[in-house]
Chain A
């Protein structure tokens, strides 16, 4: 039986085994009622974690075996470079947006993130990179923070009450 994509299986198995580690490490912190030694708060998680570990190991072993059989290298250079080229800017914009949001509140980071995202998706011109982000940020602010009344935490660097400027 030939696995059509053993590399993906191997990556998925390794990722799951890594993701499960913090859960295993903190299992012992789950409180167990000493007067109720039956099916407690720790048993179901143990079962789920054990199943993930066993199935992931099986999938990993099969994937490695199939990769050797099909002479597939573990690292796919071209795919990694595509990921780095296209996905990492999205990661950078996203994390930068969240960080700026905590510093200067909603409006400026949203307009900036929108501008960068428009550029990333191939939009060009002052309208799409300037006007649209500013209008979008203002429209979303009006809808979520003014109309729906969502609370905006003060920024660590710049703090303002936008509702007092925009409310009528």
Chain B
């Protein structure tokens, strides 16, 4: 089995194993600290990956994202302050349990559900991705053009409230991706006289700017509310309140299975993400449940939300590895790391970098086991540690880290300037409701999208009519057009309903 080769690749050298476990622990810490998400941490770690071998680099990034998905539930349960957006649903039931002194039970349920959802999704990734990639590898440039079109349209129209802003964010990302040497001819384009732009805008400074520095700008406006006053409620003395009983686990098992399926399906679809998955699963579990404890500490709620949000983790990689389309910001950064280390992004990665990909899957399984053990026995300790961290000190650290991380890419002050400018751009995008994920994904994919389109035009003298001869390409175009039409219709119905009810959302 290929996964055994993956474990051989992972354990063949101490570095990948070390960075897989190190990444898991970093992700646990990052996800547990409110204000420091997995994406932010990954962006800050990107320059470090330049100095690592490819498998260690990928394992580090992947395990940070996985473990931070679970760790966000810890402050959510203990302090009603989710460490990550996807943990907000968990807080609805976790915090009431804390107030009853049952925080131990809540956190143990969270880690069990997270590990189970993550594991099932990882299995699908391991056994399903290569199978789907086999079909995707037969696609040519016209099919890839259609896939890119579909991805841009779906991501632009699904993420955020405004289709128009989603499209503009995507187009803006595409435009910036065109800076630098032309992919086909190699002649310079849009370098504005700067030698550093001949190779295009460097990915790491742009990501650091729009994701991390823009967050600093946002947080400085809230500084009056940053005082850390996290106190943990006293824990119950009863042993059954400190862990999950067998009867509770049996009751939650079907909930976790169903929620894992929901999270896996949503995770495979570009643009939807763990937050949506956790709320959909939570809502579904609440709908079918006969319990009257919802909102007051129903453990099935924790099981549903956590199983679902962690199930998106492995599933997120399926569109990346089969079609080369990152469906989330984290997958986009993983794609960036793959490109930096000379790997192809898409189905050919299973042929060209077989050991690395299965090594990555093995790292994912190791991460799940690690955070299950650490989370089960140590989440209380993590919670107490978080309560001691003054939140006001975190952002200045992140601020100075951004500058050195940007400089570390190629030792250029220019990259520090780019990072800072994109911090302002990212802040402006946040304030005006533009979509940062759509922008980032378009920026990463833009070069490839243009190259595919131009290769397609070279294939046939009929030019754009070549798409009419490619049914798979037509299918992807149709999905994209259908998605945007549905989204625009839904937005119009919502506006009409709002107008009829006489309310205007501020």
User: What is the interface of chain A, defined by CB distance below 8 A to chain B?
Assistant: 1-2, 4-5, 8-9, 11-12, 15-16, 19-20, 22-23, 26, 30-31, 33, 38-41, 44-45, 48-49, 51-52, 55-56, 58-59, 70, 82, 86-87, 89-91, 93-95, 97-98, 101-102, 106, 110, 113-114, 117-118, 120-123, 128, 132, 136-137, 140, 144, 148, 150-153
Contacts and interface: CB of A to CB of B under 8 A. Distances in A.
A137 B174 CA distance: 37
B392 A122 contact: yes
A70 B118 CA distance: 48
Contact of B192 (A15, A26, A151): A26
B287 interface: no
Contact of A122 (B165, B223, B496): B223
Among B397, B399, B431, B457, find the residue whose CB has the most chain A CB atoms closer than 10 A.
B399
Among B189, B411, B496, find the residue whose CB has the most chain A CB atoms closer than 10 A.
B189
Contacts of A94: 213, 399, 403, 420, 423
Contact of B220 (A49, A52, A86): A86
Contact of A48 (B174, B217, B424, B434): B174
Given A51-B171, A121-B220, A59 B164 contact: yes
Interface stretch (B13-21, B355-363, B477-485, B498-506): B498-506
Interface string B156-177: 0000001011011001101100
Contacts of B178: 44-45, 48
Q: Which 4 A-B pairs have the closest CB atoms?
A: A117-B396, A39-B457, A12-B432, A1-B495
Q: On chain B, which size bracket covers the interface?
A: 35 or more
Contacts of A41: 182, 184-185, 187, 189
A150 B407 contact: yes
Given A58-B164, A121-B395, A26 B190 contact: yes
Nearest to A102: B413
Interface string B416-450: 11001001100111011110000000000000001
A132 B393 contact: yes
A124 B17 CA distance: 41
A15 to B, nearest CB: 6
A148 B175 contact: no
Interface in B443-476: 450, 453-454, 457-458, 463
Given A12-B432, A86-B220, A55 B420 contact: no
A87 B427 contact: yes
A148 B408 contact: yes
Nearest to B162: A9
B375 to A, nearest CB: 28
Contacts of A93: 399
B434 A2 contact: no
A131 B48 CA distance: 26
Given A9-B432, A38-B458, A16 B220 contact: no
